[in-house]
Amino acid sequence: MLRSQTKLFALGKRQLCRSMSKSCDLTLVEVDDKTGIATLTMNKPPVNSCNLEMMRALKDSMKQIEGNKSRGIILTSSNNKVFSSGLDLNELRNPEQERLVAFWKELQEMWLTLYLSNLPTAAAINGHALAVGCVMASACEYRVMLPGFTIGIHATKFGYVVPPFIVNSYLSVLPRPVVERALLQGKIFSTDEAQQINLIDEVANSKEEALSKCASFIGSFAEANPVARALTKRQLRAEFARTLLDEPEAELKESLEYITSPLFQDSLDAYLAKLKSKNKK
């Protein structure tokens, strides 16, 4: 349904495409005609949480961008405080089986599409990037973050086992001992801390500067043959994507069993209640 709701507009020198839900445009895509770089903006209020429709919109937008022969993708947010708050926790709470299966498959496909994109990818992290928000940023080849925000995978803090492909997202950016400690502690990093451990590549003082730094990174591949670049990237990244490429059903089964267990559901209830109570105080 979303695919048929995706529209492509000609807008002066730019093309704009939108993946729409009933109430809003979940993603916005603008292609700069001069550079050929596409900016993919997450636009799901209030905090870009990833429900089924959002992840489908992200995947479809990335595929459209690749099909449009753009030179690269910059992932960013329309919210100037939150890049993404990760998976939509409401999708995991007392889920209906069919929707949960579709949701988890979409997460797998969205991650594979971003992680193995043929194009150079960069994240302009203009707000908090938590859990799967951090995973999406880590799946990109380059990260530029604004000061004063946080980034990390804090799953173990609220009783979530971290699935292997999420571990691999971190491993493709950080050394193993750092990954192990960060995941086991459920560590959330400030912008400065993230730069110190090279979880992010650069700090920018505004979203415009972040976008510009991401564009410069993508521009650095101007001399590379796009096909050779894409195939080399795929070779380099294939190992970390292996579980999902070869055995998505096994990963799905394991995750579903865990998500629907009383242990997980109880800790999710407690976590959601804490999150909601913050706004009632």
- The answer to whether the peptide bond before residue 177 is cis (omega within 30 degrees of 0) is no
Indicate whether 75 belongs to the interface with ligand L434P2JQ (CB under 6 A).
Answer: no
Indicate whether 130 belongs to the interface with ligand L434P2JQ (CB under 6 A).
Answer: yes
**Given the complex with ligand L434P2JQ, which of 72 and 152 has the nearer CB atom?**
152
Q: Closest distance between ligand L434P2JQ and the C-beta of residue 42, in Å? A: 12
Q: Closest distance between ligand L434P2JQ and the C-beta of residue 67, in Å? A: 28
Indicate whether 90 belongs to the interface with ligand L434P2JQ (CB under 6 A).
Answer: yes
Q: Closest distance between ligand L434P2JQ and the C-beta of residue 231, in Å? A: 31
**Given the complex with ligand L434P2JQ, which of 142 and 160 has the nearer CB atom?**
160
Choose one: 10-18, 25-33, 34-42, 155-163; the region binding ligand L434P2JQ (CB under 6 A). Answer: 155-163
Question: Among residues 16, 20, 89, 101, which is the contact residue for ligand L434P2JQ, using CB under 6 A?
Answer: 89
Q: Decide the pairing of beta strands 14-20 and 7-11.
A: antiparallel
Residue 2 in tokens: 């979303």
Indicate whether 46 belongs to the interface with ligand L434P2JQ (CB under 6 A).
Answer: yes
Indicate whether 86 belongs to the interface with ligand L434P2JQ (CB under 6 A).
Answer: yes
What DSSP assignment string belongs to the chain? -HHHH-EEEEETTEEEEEEE-SSSEEEEEEE-TTT-EEEEEE--TTT--B-HHHHHHHHHHHHHHHHTT-SEEEEEESSSSEEE--B-GGGTSS--HHHHHHHHHHHHHHHHHHHT-SS-EEEEE-SEEETHHHHHHHHSSEEEE-TT-EEE--GGGGTPPPPHHHHHHHHTTS-HHHHHHHHHHT-EEEHHHHHHTTSSSEE-SSHHHHHHHHHHHHHTTTTS-HHHHHHHHHHHHHHHHHHHHH-HHHHHHHHHHHHTSHHHHHHHHHHHHHHHHHHH-
Indicate whether 255 belongs to the interface with ligand L434P2JQ (CB under 6 A).
Answer: yes
Indicate whether 77 belongs to the interface with ligand L434P2JQ (CB under 6 A).
Answer: no
The contacts of residue 139 (CB under 8 Å, 6+ apart) are 111, 114, 115, 121, 169, 172
Indicate whether 152 belongs to the interface with ligand L434P2JQ (CB under 6 A).
Answer: no
Indicate whether 16 belongs to the interface with ligand L434P2JQ (CB under 6 A).
Answer: no
Question: Among residues 38, 40, 47, 57, which is the contact residue for ligand L434P2JQ, using CB under 6 A?
Answer: 47
Indicate whether 160 belongs to the interface with ligand L434P2JQ (CB under 6 A).
Answer: yes
Choose one: 24-32, 116-124, 154-162, 236-244; the region binding ligand L434P2JQ (CB under 6 A). Answer: 154-162
Beta bridge partners of 31: 15, 38
Binding mask 163-202 for ligand L434P2JQ (x = CB under 6 A): x---------------------------------------
The residues binding ligand L434P2JQ (CB under 6 A) are 46-47, 49, 81-82, 85-90, 128, 130-132, 155, 160-161, 163, 254-255, 258-259, 275-276, 278-279
